[in-house]
C-alpha cells in the first residue's frame, strides 16, 4: 500500500496535471512499462515527429514536434525505465489568452505500468494513474435480524447502502388461538424464507462487485449465526466471510456500526487507519489534559516545540500550509498522516478543526 504522505503528494501532482490543458491535440502522454526498451520508444517518437509534419495547422504542428523533441531529449538520460515504468507528460500548456508555455514532467507511478500507451490530446491522460490510488478491494456489508436486513458495499472509503429488506416474520406471541407448536413451526418457516430472500439478494449484489475482498456480517445473536450456519449465501461468497460481529442496528446505520466493529479485520485499509487516528484525537480533546491540539496556530507552535507525535492534515488543506507544516514536522521527527474528507470524522477535521490537528507527545497548554 502506498505510504500516506507519498500518496498525498502523488494525488497533488495528478490534481495539478488535471488542471492543465492545451489547444487542439498538442498535449502528449506516454505510459512506458518497466520492460519496454527506451530505444523502441525513441524510434516510435521519431516516426511520430515525421508524421506530425502532415498536421495542417502550423502552430499545432510546431508545438507537437517541439514536444516530441523535448521528450526524446529527456529520454537520453534513461538507459531503461524505472522499476514501475514511467509516465511522460509534455506539451504547450495554455496560460490564458494567447500565452502558452512548454512543460515536461516525468513521473514514476506507485505501481507497475502494464502496457505501452501513447496519446496526443487537449488534456493529459490520467485515468490509469488515478486507478492506482484507489483501494483495490471492495467489501460486502450485511446486517440483519429477523425483522429486517440491509445490504451495502464499502468502496474505498465510501459506504453505499444498496438494499433494505423487511420480513413478514410474526412475533413470538401466537394469535387467533393457534396451537403454540403449529405457530412456532409457521414462524420458523417464515424466518427461513426471509433468510433465503436475504441470501439471494446479497448473493446477487456481491457477485456483481468487482474485486470483492471479503464480506462482513453483523446483527444480534442468534440471527447472524443462524444465517451463516444455514449457508444462505452463494457458496463462493460463503468462503469470503471475513468476520461476524455483534451489532445493535440492522438498518443503514448498521453498515457504519459494523465497519466500526471490524477494525481489526480491516486494519490495513486507509479508511480504518484514518478513523482510528481521528477517534484517538476526538478522545484526547474531551479528556482533561488530553494530548491533542488543533488549529494551524496551535499546531504550528506545538510542532516547533517538538511536542507533536503525529500530525493530522486534511487532504483539503491549502497546499502551501501543508508544505510548511510538513517541513517543520520533518525537522522534529513528527510523523504525518493525511486524512480524507470521505467520512464523517474526516469532514470534521476540515470543517470544525481548520484542517489540521495533532496527537502530542507531551502537554504544552498552547
Res 162 pLDDT > 70: yes
Distance CA 300, CA 80 (A): 43
pLDDT digits (tens, 9 = 90+) for 177-232: 557 788 788 888 899 999 999 999 999 999 999 889 999 999 998 899 999 999 89
Q: What is the pLDDT of residues 46-87, one digit of tens each?
A: 999 999 999 888 988 999 999 999 999 999 999 999 999 999
pLDDT at 272: 87
Is the CB of residue 212 less than 8 Å from the CB of residue 139? yes
Cβ(358)–Cβ(293) under 8 Å?
Answer: yes
Domains of the chain: 4-132 (3.30.960.10), 138-261 (3.30.420.60), 270-360 (3.30.1330.30)
> Do 346 and 340 meet the contact criterion of CB atoms below 8 Å apart?
yes
Which of 198, 348, 195, 361 has the alpha carbon at shortest distance from 279? Answer: 348
| Res. 238 pLDDT band, cuts 50 70 90 | very high
Query: Cell 505501452 identifies what position?
Result: 116
pLDDT in tens, 122-140: 999 999 999 888 777 899 9
Q: What is the pTM of this model?
A: 0.70
Amino acid at each position: 500500500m502506498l505510504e500516506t504522505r507519498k500518496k498525498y503528494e502523488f494525488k497533488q501532482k495528478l490534481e495539478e496535471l488535471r488542471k492543465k490543458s492545451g489547444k487542439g491535440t498538442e498535449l502528449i502522454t506516454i505510459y512506458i512499462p518497466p520492460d519496454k526498451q527506451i530505444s523502441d520508444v525513441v524510434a516510435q517518437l521519431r516516426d511520430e515527429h515525421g508524421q506530425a509534419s502532415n498536421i495542417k495547422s502550423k502552430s499545432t504542428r510546431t508545438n507537437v514536434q517541439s514536444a516530441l523533441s523535448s521528450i526524446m531529449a529527456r529520454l537520453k538520460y534513461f538507459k531503461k525505465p524505472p522499476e514501475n515504468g514511467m509516465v511522460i507528460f509534455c506539451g504547450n500548456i495554455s496560460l490564458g489568452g494567447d500565452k502558452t508555455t512548454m512543460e515536461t514532467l516525468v513521473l514514476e507511478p506507485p505501481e507497475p505500468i502494464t502496457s505501452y500507451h501513447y496519446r496526443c490530446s487537449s488534456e493529459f491522460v490520467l485515468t490509469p494513474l488515478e486507478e492506482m490510488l484507489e483501494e483495490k478491494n471492495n467489501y460486502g456489508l450485511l446486517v440483519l435480524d429477523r425483522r429486517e436486513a440491509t445490504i451495502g458495499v464499502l468502496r474505498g472509503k465510501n459506504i453505499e447502502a444498496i438494499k433494505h429488506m423487511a420480513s413478514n416474520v410474526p412475533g413470538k406471541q401466537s394469535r387467533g388461538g393457534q396451537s403454540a407448536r403449529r405457530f412456532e413451526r409457521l414462524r420458523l418457516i417464515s424466518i427461513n424464507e426471509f433468510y433465503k430472500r436475504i441470501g439471494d439478494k446479497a448473493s446477487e449484489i456481491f457477485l456483481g462487485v468487482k474485486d470483492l475482498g471479503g464480506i462482513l456480517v453483523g446483527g444480534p445473536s442468534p440471527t447472524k449465526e443462524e444465517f451463516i450456519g444455514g449457508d444462505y449465501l452463494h457458496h463462493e461468497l460463503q468462503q469470503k466471510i471475513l468476520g461476524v460481529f455483534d451489532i445493535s442496528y440492522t438498518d443503514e446505520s448498521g453498515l457504519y456500526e459494523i465497519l466500526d466493529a471490524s477494525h481489526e479485520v480491516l486494519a490495513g485499509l486507509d479508511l480504518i487507519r484514518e478513523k482510528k487516528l481521528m477517534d484517538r484525537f476526538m478522545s484526547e480533546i474531551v479528556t482533561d489534559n488530553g494530548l491533542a491540539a488543533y488549529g494551524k496556530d496551535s499546531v504550528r507552535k506545538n510542532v516547533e516545540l517538538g511536542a507533536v507525535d503525529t500530525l493530522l492534515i486534511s487532504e483539503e488543506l491549502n497546499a502551501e500550509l501543508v508544505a510548511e507544516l510538513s517541513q517543520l514536522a520533518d525537522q522534529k521527527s513528527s510523523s504525518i498522516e493525511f486524512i480524507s474528507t470521505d467520512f464523517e470524522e474526516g469532514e470534521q477535521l476540515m470543517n470544525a478543526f481548520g484542517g489540521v490537528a495533532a496527537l502530542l507527545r507531551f502537554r504544552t497548554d498552547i
